[in-house]
């Protein structure tokens, strides 16, 4: 008889469950307990921000900008010390407590290769982007497929602003984002995980006004644990669509196979739009836990951003849009 160890994502869990429940219940509870200690996490966050191992961007780019009122968060900001110490970043760990390990990921120099079906293939430098793109702040709700949520002020620029400069060919149908692979990432060689972490959007999704490239958080440079120095943010989709530490942007006419769909196509798809009515096979998506608080609130379709994005999916009613 073939006996094999169940992989994390095959382990049944009843309630709020990580994408890969590779760690046991006790550890889950320990991490949740740590995140609940808001005051403590706040102090850790402050110490971390001053760590010289995380160099701030060169030059005096102001990342502390007023939030655009066009995108009202509708709920309180998550405490900075919580949002920066409760993270998903499988290259580093399957636990949420990984921010210390990520401080070893060099943030400079940082370049992003642009290739595929695009008029202007090139290598972008993060500091050039910081200087040349018009930065703004957006407070967005973030909904992880594991049923936790946070509300974060991101600094960055609309994806559409950069994509228009790059000039994708008319034949491009998707844009694909790829995370760095670095010796600083302890999990990069782990079996079963199809690194580099990759995900993508249709061109129409990427050009939607909500789609955002992110270089800062809480008015400061984006910390490595949250995807620094360069990630993308699509607040109507589950968090796993939001690729951290981007080093490559490719334009293609084929739907990319994203990281989580490659791992488990029965549980994760390409679209991953938030919908409380379509449960994950192992848990409900009806509600979400606001990290750093004891609040549990109802989940909204498209994470409450339907007025911006529902039109993208007109006529596409299949439930796969929501996994």
Binding site for ligand MTE (CB under 6 A): 19, 87-91, 144, 179, 197, 226-227, 239-240, 242-245
Instruction: Take residue 206 and report the two structure tokens written for it.
Output: 């990427």
Smaller CB distance to ligand MTE: residue 82 or 172?
A: 82
Which residue number, 117 or 176, has a Cβ lying nearer to ligand MTE? 176
Q: Which of 109, 46, 113, 38 is nearest to 79 (CA)?
A: 38
**63 vs 144 by CB, closer to Mo ion:** 144
Measure the CA–CA gap between 26 and 23, rounded to whole angstroms: 8
Q: Using CB under 5 A, pick the residue from 92, 240, 251, 259 that binds Mo ion.
A: 240
Helix (H, G, I), strand (E, B) or coil at 43: helix
Q: What does 205 interact with, of Mo ion, ligand MTE, none (CB < 5 to 8 A by kind)?
A: none
Considering the complex, state which of residue 88 and residue 208 has its C-beta at the smaller distance from ligand MTE: 88
* 243: partner contacted, choices ligand MTE, Mo ion, none (Cβ within 5-8 A by kind): ligand MTE
The helix (H) or strand (E) run that includes residue 308 is helix 306-309
Residue 268: contacted member of ligand MTE, Mo ion, none (CB under 5 to 8 Å, by partner type):
none
Place of tokens 């699509």: 234
Residue 155 contact partner, candidates Mo ion, ligand MTE, none, CB within 5 to 8 A by sort of partner? none
Site for Mo ion in 121-160 (CB under 5 A): 144
In the complex, minimum distance from the CB of residue 274 to Mo ion, in angstroms, rounded to a whole number: 11
81 versus 239: smaller Cβ distance to Mo ion:
239
Scored b (16 or more CB within 10 A) or e, 161-191 reads ebbeebebeeebbbbbbbbbeeebbeebeee
DSSP, res 302: G
3-state secondary structure of 131: helix
**Min separation Cβ 21 and Mo ion, Å:** 13
Instruction: Determine the angle formed by the axes of helices 38-49 and 25-36, rounding to 10 degrees.
Output: 80
Q: Which residues bind Mo ion (CB under 5 A)?
A: 88, 144, 239-240
């Amino acid at each position: 008889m073939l006996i094999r160890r169940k992989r994390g994502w095959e382990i049944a869990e009843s309630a709020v469950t990580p994408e890969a429940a590779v760690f046991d219940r006790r550890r889950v509870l320990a991490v949740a307990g740590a995140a609940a200690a808001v005051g403590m996490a706040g102090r850790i966050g402050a110490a971390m921000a001053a760590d010289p191992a995380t160099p701030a961007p060169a030059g005096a780019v102001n990342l502390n900008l007023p939030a655009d009122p066009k995108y009202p968060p509708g709920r309180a900001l998550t405490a900075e010390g919580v949002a920066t110490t409760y993270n998903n970043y499988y290259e580093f760990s399957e636990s949420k407590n990984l921010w210390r390990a990520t401080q070893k990921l060099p943030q400079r120099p940082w370049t992003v290769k642009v290739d595929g079906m695009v008029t202007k293939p090139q290598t972008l430098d993060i500091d050039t982007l910081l200087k040349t793109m018009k930065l703004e702040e957006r407070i967005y709700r973030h909904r992880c497929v594991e049923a936790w949520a946070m509300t974060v002020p991101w600094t960055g620029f609309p994806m559409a602003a950069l994509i228009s400069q790059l000039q994708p060919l008319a034949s491009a149908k998707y844009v694909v984002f790829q995370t760095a692979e670095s010796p600083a990432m302890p999990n990069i060689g782990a079996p079963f995980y199809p690194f580099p972490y990759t995900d993508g959007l249709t061109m129409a999704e990427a050009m939607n006004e909500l789609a955002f490239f992110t270089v800062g958080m809480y008015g400061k440079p984006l910390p490595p644990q949250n995807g620094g120095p360069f990630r993308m943010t699509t607040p109507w989709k589950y968090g796993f669509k939001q690729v951290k530490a981007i080093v490559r942007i490719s334009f293609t006419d084929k739907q990319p196979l994203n990281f989580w769909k490659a791992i488990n196509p029965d549980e994760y798809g390409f679209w991953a739009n938030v919908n409380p009515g379509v449960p994950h096979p192992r848990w409900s998506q009806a509600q979400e836990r606001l990290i750093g608080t004891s609040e549990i609130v109802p989940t909204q379709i498209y994470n409450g951003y339907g007025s911006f994005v529902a039109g993208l999916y007109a006529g596409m009613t299949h439930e796969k849009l929501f996994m």
